Amino acid sequence: MAKSPEEEHPQKAFGWAARDSSGVLSPFHFSRRENGEEDVTIKILYCGVCHSDLHIVKNDWGFTRFPVVPGHEIVGVVTKTGKNVKKFKVGDRVGVGVLVGSCKKCDSCQQDLENYCPQVIFTYNSLYHDGTITYGGYSDAVVVEERYVLRFPDNLPPDAGAPLLCAGITVYSPMKYYGMTEPGKHLGVAGLGGLGHVAVKFGKAFGLRVTVISTSPKKEDEAINRLGADAFLVSSDPAKMKVAMGTMDYIIDTVSAVHALAPLLGLLKLNGKLVTLGLPDKPLELPIFPLVLGRKLVGGSDVGGMKETQEMLDFCAEHGITADIELIRMENVNMAMERLAKSDVRYRFVIDVANSLSQ
Ligand code: NAP
Ligand code: ZN
242-298 pLDDT per residue, tens: 999 999 999 999 999 999 999 999 999 999 999 999 999 999 999 999 999 999 999
As a whole-number percent, the residues of the chain with pLDDT over 90 amount to 99
Instruction: Give the pLDDT of residue 1.
Output: 64
Instruction: Give the pLDDT of residue 260.
Output: 96
Instruction: Give the pLDDT of residue 355.
Output: 96
CB of 133 sitting under 6 A from ligand 1: no
Checking if the pLDDT of 54 tops 70, the result is yes
Q: How far apart are CA 202 and CA 185, in angstroms?
A: 13
Nearest alpha carbon, ligand 1 atom 2 = 193
- The number of the ligand 1 atom at minimal distance from the alpha carbon of 280 is 32
Q: Give the β-pairing of 325-328 and 25-32.
A: unpaired
User: What is the CA 305 to chain-centroid distance, rounded?
Assistant: 13
Q: Are 112 and 307 in contact (CB under 8 A)?
A: yes
Q: For the chain, give the mean pLDDT.
A: 97
Q: What is the pLDDT of residues 229-257, one digit of tens each?
A: 999 999 999 999 999 999 999 999 999 99
The mean per-residue pLDDT over the stretch 329-348 comes to 97
Identify which ligand lies nearest to the alpha carbon of 215.
Answer: 1
Q: How far apart are CA 314 and CA 290, in angstroms?
A: 38
Write out the H or E segment, with its range, that includes residue 226: none
Checking if the pLDDT of 49 tops 80, the result is yes
Q: What is the pLDDT of residues 66-82, one digit of tens each?
A: 999 999 999 999 999 99
H-type helices in the chain, by residue range? 51-57, 107-110, 158-161, 167-177, 194-205, 220-225, 238-244, 262-267, 288-293, 306-319, 333-341, 353-356
Nearest partner of 345 among 15, 22, 19, 53, judged by Cα: 53
Q: What is the pLDDT of residues 164-197, one digit of tens each?
A: 999 999 999 999 999 999 999 999 999 999 999 9
Instruction: Give the pLDDT of residue 2.
Output: 76
Write out the H or E segment, with its range, that includes residue 69: none
Instruction: Give the pLDDT of residue 157.
Output: 98
User: What is the CA 189 to chain-centroid distance, rounded?
Assistant: 16
CB of 219 sitting under 6 A from ligand 1: yes
Checking if the pLDDT of 341 tops 90, the result is yes
* 264 phi and psi angles, rounded to 5 deg: -70, -45
CA of 351 to the centre of ligand 2 (A): 14
CB of 255 sitting under 6 A from ligand 1: yes
- The number of the ligand 1 atom at minimal distance from the alpha carbon of 55 is 34
Instruction: Give the pLDDT of residue 100.
Output: 98
CB of 192 sitting under 6 A from ligand 1: yes
Q: How far apart are CA 164 and CA 304, in angstroms?
A: 11
Instruction: Give the pLDDT of residue 292.
Output: 97
CA of 135 to the centre of ligand 2 (A): 14
Q: How far apart are CA 66 and CA 63, in angstroms?
A: 9
pTM metric for this prediction: 0.97
Q: What is the pLDDT of residues 306-337, one digit of tens each?
A: 999 999 999 999 999 999 999 999 999 999 99
Identify which ligand lies nearest to the alpha carbon of 96.
Answer: 2
Checking if the pLDDT of 130 tops 70, the result is yes
Q: What is the pLDDT of residues 95-106, one digit of tens each?
A: 999 999 999 999
Identify which ligand lies nearest to the alpha carbon of 254.
Answer: 1
Nearest alpha carbon, ligand 1 atom 21 = 255
CB of 303 sitting under 6 A from ligand 1: yes
